């Protein structure tokens, strides 16, 4: 990892650690930096910072993800499949206030190549984004829980079929 | 008469839509709610012409893009054809911007309905979407010489759930 990347990560972490969520603008920047620290800089343990123990993530197939262990599992699986995974933000904005909490919506796309773990077998070396971005949209509800700001509920739609297609070369796996 | 009620409802909603000047975030939220209701609950697909740019590009899930208003109209019409009893339920609208700069809007909605029309997978299955058909979207709206227009949009929906409803 380059010094520049480490420096960038530290700057992001500094913002995350000092942010007091006083305005929607701050909240939007906070969660962009937070997302990048976890996914682009692989600081996965920071999921603990802002995800509530009982956070529910509503997914596009109707299957909800509940509990931090499942959040960790999903994150690590995706990262392991695409070791160069990078989240690129298109936009993020929020509404709300320090008293009642915030809602934010974000749009981003995934870049990365399947060179790692693959549930179907050998890595395919296919890319997530080529001509049209491999998009993900997400909404989060952020509230104060025991004095700490937490994501208590999330709605996430990923391009699941496109991700699956990137992992599936269609060739049979030979052990 | 049975048709009087929905006819009056469409008139009332259209009248309300036409009064919205998009002067603040509450009017923008109201626009989104009424616009989606008219299109999906009341099948007023032609309204897409009123509020989308001709050369709109709508980025969808799974690396699909709809290029141009005609493509968007075709896609919307097909969706409604598969589920002719469709209803949209707008759960969240988040708004950023102003009348002067334009608006960025994030919306979460659900679709309910049953597969009562034919689809690329064959005859109607009669299966219901249930409560889990989620749509997240982010769009931009700007004031143009032709009025307020949606200038770009990203829309993602529970595609696999929809497909499973269309298959026997």
Angstroms from A24 CA to nearest CA on chain B: 10
Phi, psi of B65 (to 5 degrees): -130, 135
Facing residue for A93 by CB, picked from B106, B156, B158: B106
Share of chain A above pLDDT 90, in %: 82
User: Which is nearest to A110 in space by CA: A142, A89, A146, A134?
Assistant: A134
CA-to-CA dists, residue B48 to B9, B39, B43, B75, B102, angstroms: 19, 8, 11, 12, 19
Facing residue for A62 by CB, picked from B62, B138, B161: B161
Tens-place pLDDT, residues A33-62 = 999 999 999 999 999 999 998 999 999 988
Reported in sequence order, the residue ranges of chain B that DSSP labels E, i.e. its strands, are 57-59, 65-67, 87-98, 102-112, 134-144, 147-157
A5/B97 Cα distance (integer angstroms): 33
Average pLDDT score over residue span A156-172: 86
SS3 A117: coil
For residue A2, pLDDT over 90 is answered with no
Confidence of residue A1 (pLDDT cuts 50, 70, 90): low
Confidence of residue A4 (pLDDT cuts 50, 70, 90): confident
What pLDDT is attached to residue A121? 87
For residue B164, pLDDT over 90 is answered with yes
What pLDDT is attached to residue B74? 95
Angstroms from B78 CA to nearest CA on chain A: 20
Tens-place pLDDT, residues B88-98 = 999 999 999 99
Cross-chain residue pair B158–A61, CB shorter than 8 Å: yes
Facing residue for B134 by CB, picked from A129, A157, A162: A157
Interface of A to B at Cβ within 8 Å reads 24, 58, 60-62, 90-91, 93-95, 103-107, 129-139, 155-162, 165
For residues A92-129, b (16+ Cβ closer than 10 Å) or e, as one string?
Answer: bbbbbeeeebbbbbbbbbbbbbbeeebeeeebbeeebb
Cross-chain residue pair A139–B92, CB shorter than 8 Å: yes
B63/A162 Cα distance (integer angstroms): 7
User: Which is nearest to A91 in space by CA: A106, A111, A103, A110?
Assistant: A106
Tens-place pLDDT, residues A89-123 = 999 999 999 999 999 999 999 999 999 988 888 99
**ipTM score:** 0.89
| Chain A hits for B159, Cβ within 8 Å | 60, 160-161
Facing residue for B65 by CB, picked from A91, A107, A132: A132
- What's this model's pTM, rounded to 2 decimal places? 0.92
Tens-place pLDDT, residues B9-39 = 999 999 999 999 999 999 999 999 999 999 9
| Count of CB atoms situated within 10 Å of the CB of B91 | 12
A131/B47 Cα distance (integer angstroms): 30
């Amino acid at each position: 990892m380059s010094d520049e990347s480490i420096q960038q990560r530290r700057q992001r972490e500094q913002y995350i650690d000092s942010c007091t969520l006083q305005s929607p603008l701050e909240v939007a920047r906070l969660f962009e930096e937070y997302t990048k620290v976890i996914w682009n800089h692989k600081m996965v343990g920071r999921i603990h910072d802002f995800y509530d123990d009982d956070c529910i993530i509503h997914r596009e197939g109707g299957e909800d993800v509940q509990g931090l262990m499942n959040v960790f599992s999903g994150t690590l699986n995706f990262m392991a499949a695409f070791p160069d995974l990078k989240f690129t933000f298109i936009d993020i904005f929020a509404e709300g206030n320090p008293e009642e909490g915030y809602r934010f919506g974000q749009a981003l796309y995934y870049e990365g190549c399947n060179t790692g773990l693959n549930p179907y077998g050998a890595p395919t070396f296919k890319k997530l984004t080529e001509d049209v971005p491999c998009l993900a949209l997400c909404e989060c509800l952020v509230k104060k829980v025991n004095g700490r700001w937490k994501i208590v509920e999330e709605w996430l739609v990923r391009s699941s079929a496109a991700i699956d297609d990137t992992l599936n070369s269609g060739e049979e796996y030979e052990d | 008469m049975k048709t009087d009620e929905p006819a009056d409802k469409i008139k009332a909603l259209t009248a309300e839509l036409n009064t919205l000047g998009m002067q603040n975030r509450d009017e923008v939220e109201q626009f989104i709610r009424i616009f989606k209701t008219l299109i999906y609950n009341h099948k007023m697909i032609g309204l897409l012409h009123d509020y989308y740019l001709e050369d709109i590009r709508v980025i969808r899930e799974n690396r699909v893009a709809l290029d141009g208003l005609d493509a968007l109209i075709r896609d919307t019409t097909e969706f409604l054809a598969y589920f002719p009893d469709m209803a949209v339920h707008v759960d969240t609208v988040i708004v950023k911007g102003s009348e002067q700069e334009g608006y960025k809007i994030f919306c979460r909605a659900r679709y309910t309905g049953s597969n009562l029309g034919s689809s690329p997978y064959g005859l109607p299955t009669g299966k219901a979407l249930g409560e889990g058909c989620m749509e997240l979207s982010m769009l931009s709206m700007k004031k143009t010489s032709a009025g307020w227009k949606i200038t770009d949009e990203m829309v993602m929906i529970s595609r696999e759930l929809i497909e499973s409803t269309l298959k026997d």
